[in-house]
Amino acid sequence: MLRTKNFEIFVFSVAKTFSVAFVAFVALGALITAQAPRFTVVEASISDMRAALQGHRITSRELVQQSLTRIALYEDRLNAIIYVNPHALEEADERDRERAAGRIRGPLHGIPIALKDNIQTRDMPTTGGALAFAGLIPPYDATVTKNLRDAGAIIIAKTQMTELANWVTVGMPANYNSLNGYGLNPYDPRRDPRDGLSDGRPVLATGGSSSGVGTAVSFWAANVGTETSGSILSPANQNMLVGIKPTVGRVSRYGIIPITADQDTAGPMARSVTDAAIMLGAMEGGTPDPDDAATAACAPPTNRDYTRFLDRAALKGARIGVPRAFFYDAVTSGGSSVPRGGLTPDQRKAMDDALAVMRQQGAEIVDPADIPSVVDADSARNFLDWNVCSGPDNAKGKDAGCSVTYKYGMKRDFNHWLALLGDAAPLNSLTALRAWNDAHRSAGALKYGQSNLDNADDTDLLADRSRYEADRRKDLFLTASHGIDEVMKGQRLDALIFPAQSGAAIAARAAYPTVIVPFATVPNTPMPVFPAGFDPQPAPYGVSLTGMACSEPRLIALAYAFEQASRLRAASAGQARGRVAPPRFP
């Protein structure tokens, strides 16, 4: 077993190198022999690409050739990709033939996008970044993969990600996995020089567990991430992208490597609100997915078209709540006598500026609009005192004061996912994965340990069910009914505005949607500090809008109005440059 799997890992490494180098070499050669391109993919929006395709200024093959060339030029500096589709040019040719015959599949016809590598593709490996799953070809596409292909998208690559969506252990850097190493941030693509942290991790965090790096540098038009808590919003924030974390069930999770069905969702990441809205419509099913009962939760808009909600005037009269306590200002509440939370002066300035933009656009800023479960003096009713159980400190027997929902969900849903793979599954259980990892330490399987997998596997799905159900009820009470619902209904709010991705956890545990929009940059000043003489580049800093279940249309409208008023980056190649230049990967 050891020798066989090591060979598979070696084959994966060779395959990635070959798929990036050879496919891009073919594309590069084609471009060298052709005339200068009439259209460039750099900073081009989906609407730009569609117009160019419809106007015969470019073909899908040429779009893919340009994308592959950019991958060949820059991927070794960023590590944004786990696998490149070796058939991308063939698929582009097929989309071009369909277009010539008058058949347009949908809004993404002939446009290259990428998927996180925990989303199943039956013609490419789906690994979750885990060594144990190197070379795994699933027997079926994820529903979201099928929907995107039905919309005409060309899935050009599978993106880098934190291993198994960051539920392997505590302390694993974002966007690291044992199969493919560390991802780097295009806004400062260097490695961390600090003592004790110079293990290859990026100097500027990429966010995780999804990756937005390839979209930020125009390797493709947009990409699909997944989130259990923060894994779309975090990389969108760190890479100056728009991210939509949908209501759980808005997009089918069938065929996606899970953490817990209570919170897992897929969502789009793009360079503009418009592109993210187009992507969300293509990802969502027109009818509930029989393989995911949660997809009955929210009705899709007419024709699954979220662009109909793009309204520059949407902020006029909108009531936007500012949850000051903890998210902006440090607060003493619950069981803590020490203030928790708050912003740095630079972050506070960014949020003050964002609120000023909203006021200028006619929004009514309700300030403060504190979340009741954040300021509650009773520890049993305080969200800040109710964390998710994780790591060795919250192993079984040490987990009375935290929520077991993640570790219970991981045991339940991960084993179910393996069973659905049938004979294609390289392992048959979470127990087998842990044993495999332990046996392959020398190959790098456990660089940061696997304490979260250990905790999950320790769960007894029958004996621990009542505890799980009680904890899930408490999750929903603190985040929804005594949390977001209470303040939004009480203050008649259209949305809550959070700094960067700071509201991700409370919204995710409620299964509620959030849209993040790029807005500013702030100094990259982590602790411990960088060595003397090292000059870190600024970190992107976005603004998040959160609402209650199924409120994506309203959130998208508000986000679009804010984006158009603030204009951090150009939304398309034909527009004037935004306030912040794109990454330096021309």
Residues involved in catalysis: 116, 209, 231
In 26-153, where do the E strands start and end?
Answer: 81-84, 112-116
In 16-96, where do the E strands start and end?
Answer: 81-84
With the CA atoms of 359, 361, 362 and 363 taken in that order, what torsion angle do they form, in degrees rounded to the nearest 10? -60
Following DSSP, what letter does each residue of 236-302 receive, concatenated?
HHHTT-EEEEPPTTSS--TTB--S-TTT-EEEEEESSHHHHHHHHHHHS-SS--TT-GGGGSSPPPG
Greatest pairwise CA separation for the chain in angstroms:
71
The sign one gets for the Cα dihedral 454, 460, 461, 463 is negative
With contact defined as beta carbons under 8 Å apart, do 176 and 157 qualify? no
Tell me the sheet residues that pair with 349: none
Which tokens go with 247? 């209501």
Tell me the sheet residues that pair with 154: 112
Exposure string over 250-276, b if 16+ CB within 10 A, otherwise e: bbbbbbbbbbbbbbbbbbbbbbbbbbb
Residue 317 to residues 253, 323, 362, 495, 501, Cα–Cα distance (Å): 36, 19, 6, 12, 25
Tell me the sheet residues that pair with 115: 158, 224
- Phi/psi for 117 (5° steps) reads -80, 20
Choose among 492, 519, 179, 165: nearest CA to 356.
Answer: 519
Q: Which amino acid is at 186?
A: P
Tell me the sheet residues that pair with 245: 514
What's the rounded Cα separation, in Å, for the pair 252 and 141? Answer: 12
Helix (H) or strand (E) run with residue 365 in it: strand 364-366
Residue 511 to residues 191, 204, 252, 289, 438, Cα–Cα distance (Å): 35, 29, 14, 18, 34
